[in-house]
Amino acid sequence: MRQFQNATDANFLLTKYAVKLFLTFQVLAVIFMQIIIVPYVAVDGIKPDLVLILVVFISLRRGWFQGAMVGLASGLFIDLGTTMPLGTSALSKMLVAVFVGLIESKIFKEHRFTRIALCFIASLIDASIMLLLLKAADLVSISAGMAGNAIISAVDTAFTAGIVGLFHRYRMPLFLSREWKT
Amino acid sequence: MRNSFYNYRKLLVLAVCGITCLGAVAYQLHDPNTWYPVRSLFLDVVSPAQRFTADIAGRCREWRESRKDIDRLIQENEKLRQRLVQVETANQGLREAGKEVLNLRQMLDFKRQSRFRLISARVISHDPVNYLQTAIIDKGFRQDVKNSSVVVSPQGLAGRVVSTGSDTSRMVFLTDSQSRVACYVSRSGCRGIVTGTGGRSGLMRYLARGDDVKTGDEILSSGEGGIFQRGIKVGNIISVSQASDGTHLLVAVAFSTDFSHLTDVFVINTLLPGRR
């Protein structure tokens, strides 16, 4: 496994900023799709959570901290685009990223089914945290219908993750993986 | 050691971010209008893209609806086309039935008004060769049809029976070249003999040069000869000309019965009592 020790190496610097730029571009593109396009592909009102999928994938590839920072940033943008209190999505995505980052070394993350199952569980955790926060803020009342919607949304997100994983896993440049230490 | 400090730093950053988020949520519950300018700015930034996407989605929806409408219209068109064919076929049948009803009504009226006792019959076959003008009717001696019985149609005289079977009879049309009917002109009373020519019209013979006949005059049977009853319409004069020797007239007669479409006829049985 190659590791760059010399921080002044030009290629190393270029790679470091290219990684950050690519990640930023990814996050903005996913936020744009979630806010602008996903509402039109909803089936019976159930939409996949592309931001959550991105957070899970980045946590799997680059660790819990980077996943948490991506979750924080994207969650803030999502909160700005909705009527939820600012910080709700940010906090839930952050916690999901920490959870995924902590268990990523204990699971066989290379298998597609593992990523799909992880997205399902992450979606349930995300929904639970958000509903608890909103319930604590007295903005919603938790019901069986809402729980059912959360489960269906988790299934939808996991299904979408399976499709996204076909491109994200094999198309991602190697320099974005954690093997290239920055 | 450096790694553990790095990890602790990460945890510290995470904790600070988490607490900040919770604080932001709690503050907003206290004052819901917090971050309102930021939200407005964000909405102003994304709204053009949202408007554009909504426009595209609307057009896609319209296109999809129009495709559905087109498919529905095509199916409806096909159903209507089939229905039209069915209705036209039924209409044709009804038109034929209507003609049949008119025809039968005409025959019924003729029978009611006639001074003869009539036996209704249907022409079931025409002569297969073109030289003879004969036909087969579906009544025979069992139905009281006799040899030499006169056959009439609602339009007028049609011919006479020349042979009978048990349930069918053969009749000769007036258009047959062997057919002879003693007639007179109803207007002037001039007498003559109408003979068939094998075609659609006949000739009235033995009219003198000075006889008062003209085109359009009605020709009726005179009853002379004992076969055809008197007063049955034969036809109308269509042309009058002088013979080559100048001694008599050549009068062409159009028969009132349409022999090419003759289907229903009556056979005269007897004169009804009390009628002449």
What pLDDT sits at residue A104? 83
Residues of A in contact with B57 (CB under 8 A): 40
Residue A28 counted as domain residue:
yes
What pLDDT sits at residue A68? 92
Which of the two residues, A175 and B73, has the higher pLDDT score?
A: B73
Residue A5 counted as domain residue:
no
How confident is the prediction for chain B on average, in pLDDT? 86
pLDDT tens, position by position, B163-213: 888 888 888 899 888 889 999 999 988 999 999 887 778 999 888 888 889
B15 in contact with chain A, both atoms CB, cutoff 8 A: no
Q: Could you tell me the CATH number of the domain that includes residue A165?
A: 1.10.1760
What pLDDT sits at residue A130? 86
Residue A105 counted as domain residue:
yes
Using pLDDT thresholds of 50, 70 and 90, give the confidence band for residue B40.
confident
Residue A181 counted as domain residue:
no
**Contact at 8 Å (CB) between A58 and A87?**
no
Total number of domains constituting chain A: 1
Q: Are B28 and A35 a contacting pair at CB < 8 A? A: no
Per-residue pLDDT of chain A (182 residues; tens, 9 = 90+): 455 555 555 565 667 777 778 878 888 888 888 888 888 777 777 788 899 998 998 888 888 888 999 999 999 888 887 777 888 889 999 999 999 988 888 887 777 788 889 999 999 999 898 888 888 877 767 777 778 888 888 898 988 888 887 766 544 444 444 444 44
What pLDDT sits at residue B51? 84
Amino acid letter, B224:
E
A·B CB contacts under 8 A: 62
Which residue ranges make up each domain of chain B?
117-271
Using pLDDT thresholds of 50, 70 and 90, give the confidence band for residue B98.
very high
Q: Which of residues 20-39 of B touch A (CB under 8 A)?
A: 20-25, 28-29, 34-35, 38-39
pTM of the model: 0.53
Domain enclosing residue A67, as ranges:
10-176
CATH match for B117-271 among 3.40.50.620, 3.30.750.80, 3.90.420.10, 2.40.10.340: 2.40.10.340
B16 in contact with chain A, both atoms CB, cutoff 8 A: no
**SS in 3 state form for chain B?**
CHHHHHHHHHHHHHHHHHHHHHHHHHHHHHCCCCCHHHHHHHHHHHHHHHHHHHHHHHHHHHHHHHHHHHHHHHHHHHHHHHHHHHHHHHHHHHHHHHHHHHHHHHHHHHHHHCCEEEEEEEEEEECCCCCCCEEEECCCHHHCCCCCCEEEECCEEEEEEEEECCCCEEEEECCCCCCEEEEEECCCCCEEEEEECCCCEEEEEEEECCCCCCCCCEEEECCCCCCCCCCCEEEEEEEEEECCCCCEEEEEEEECCCHHHCCEEEEEEEECCCCC
What pLDDT sits at residue A3? 55
Q: What is the ipTM of this complex?
A: 0.72
What pLDDT sits at residue A9? 57
What pLDDT sits at residue A170? 44
Residues of B in contact with A94 (CB under 8 A): 14, 17-18, 21
Q: Are A35 and B53 a contacting pair at CB < 8 A? A: no
Residue A80 counted as domain residue:
yes
Average pLDDT of the residues in B55-84 = 92
pLDDT tens, position by position, B205-261: 888 888 889 899 999 999 888 888 888 999 999 999 887 777 888 899 999 998 888
pLDDT above 70 covers a percentage of chain B that reads 92
What pLDDT sits at residue A182? 44
Residues of B in contact with A37 (CB under 8 A): 53
Residue A3 counted as domain residue:
no
What pLDDT sits at residue B66? 93
